[in-house]
Amino acid sequence: MMNGDYAEAAAYFAKAGLPNPSDTANRTALAVNLVAKGDVERGLRELELAAANDTSNRADLLLIATHMQRREYAKALKAVDAFEKKEPSNAAPHNLRGAVQFAMRDVAAARRSFDRAVELNPGYFPAVDNLARLDVAEKKPDLARQRLEAFLEKNPKHRDALLASANLLAAQGGSAKAAEVTALIKRAIAAEPNEAAPRLALISYHLRTKEPKKAVTAAQEGLAVIPNNQS
């Protein structure tokens, strides 16, 4: 959901267990099932009730995701406000508010919200990543790269930051950056060798740069480490 994949987020939430309305977590599951089956209005009402007493914030996140998926931005902001009241020191509500504001095309407000999230928690990468995306959208790729590099200086093994930096360099194109892109992805692999995402990123990059032999080698190396992963 933090990456803006609201439909996919809702689908994952829908994998919850059997509903029992007497329990907050299961009431959330009931709401998810209602939404998944198309009874959205009833599902949203159940989510609102669950969110009011949900200390895990799962219901809050799903409520925001559902409103975003339906492009009900005012309602999404209201849900974010309720989330923030429950956890005023948490960076996540501010990042989510920024995502809603960006969807509403209020870029200045979105940047302020992302900045506030980083102020609360400098190690909260989703907000840093969103700020870098705004930098790129405003045609300031160098600023985006500096932002990601500054984060990596303090978090040198952060997989998502390494991959984001690699993607940023790759988007700039040019064979001169190929070695640097590959090095960043390999750092992400070294940081989490049993995770498929960095290895898939390396395979995809080699394919995009028309180096199929390197892609095959990367795939074989991945299979040797995580043989049961079907990705």
Predicted confidence (pLDDT) per residue in 91-125, tens digit: 999 999 999 999 999 999 999 999 999 999 999 99
Residue 74 has pLDDT above 90, yes or no: yes
Which two three-digit tokens encode residue 187? Answer: 């750092």
The pTM of the whole model exceeds 0.85: no
- Domain membership flag for residue 162: yes
Confidence of residue 17 (pLDDT cuts 50, 70, 90): very low
Residue 10 has pLDDT above 90, yes or no: no
pLDDT for position 45? 86
Residue 18 has pLDDT above 60, yes or no: no
Q: Which amino acid is at 165?
A: S
C-beta pairs of 33-37 under 8 Å, 24+ apart in sequence: 35/10, 35/66, 36/10, 36/11
C-beta pairs of 53-57 under 8 Å, 24+ apart in sequence: 53/24, 54/24, 54/25, 54/28, 55/24, 56/24, 56/25, 57/83, 57/86, 57/87, 57/92
Residues in CB range of 160: below 8 A, 6 or more apart: 125, 129
> Cα Rg for the chain, rounded, in angstroms?
20
Confidence of residue 19 (pLDDT cuts 50, 70, 90): very low
Residue 60 has pLDDT above 80, yes or no: yes
- Domain membership flag for residue 201: yes
Confidence of residue 21 (pLDDT cuts 50, 70, 90): very low
Higher pLDDT, 18 or 195: 195
Q: How far is CA 42 from CA 6, 17, 29, 35, 165, in A?
A: 19, 18, 13, 8, 42
- Domain membership flag for residue 64: no
Alpha-carbon distance of 17 to 105, in angstroms, equals 36
Residue 132 has pLDDT above 90, yes or no: yes
Residues in CB range of 53: below 8 A, 6 or more apart: 24
Count the Cβ atoms, other than its own, within 10 Å of residue 167. 18
**What is the domain-level CATH number for residue 186?**
1.25.40.10
Phi first, then psi, for residue 21 (nearest 5°) are: -55, -15
- Domain membership flag for residue 161: yes
Alpha-carbon distance of 205 to 199, in angstroms, equals 10
- Domain membership flag for residue 194: yes
Q: 117, 131 in Cβ contact below 8 A?
A: no
Question: Shortest CA distance to 59 belongs to which of 102, 19, 110?
Answer: 19
- Domain membership flag for residue 88: no
- Domain membership flag for residue 63: no
Percent of the chain with pLDDT over 70: 88
Which domain covers residue 187, as residue numbers? 156-231
Alpha-carbon distance of 123 to 126, in angstroms, equals 9
pLDDT in tens, 197-219: 999 999 999 999 999 999 999 99
- Domain membership flag for residue 185: yes
Residue 41 has pLDDT above 90, yes or no: no
Higher pLDDT, 177 or 187: 187
Q: What is the mean pLDDT of the chain?
A: 88
**Count of structural domains, the chain:** 1
pLDDT for position 194? 94
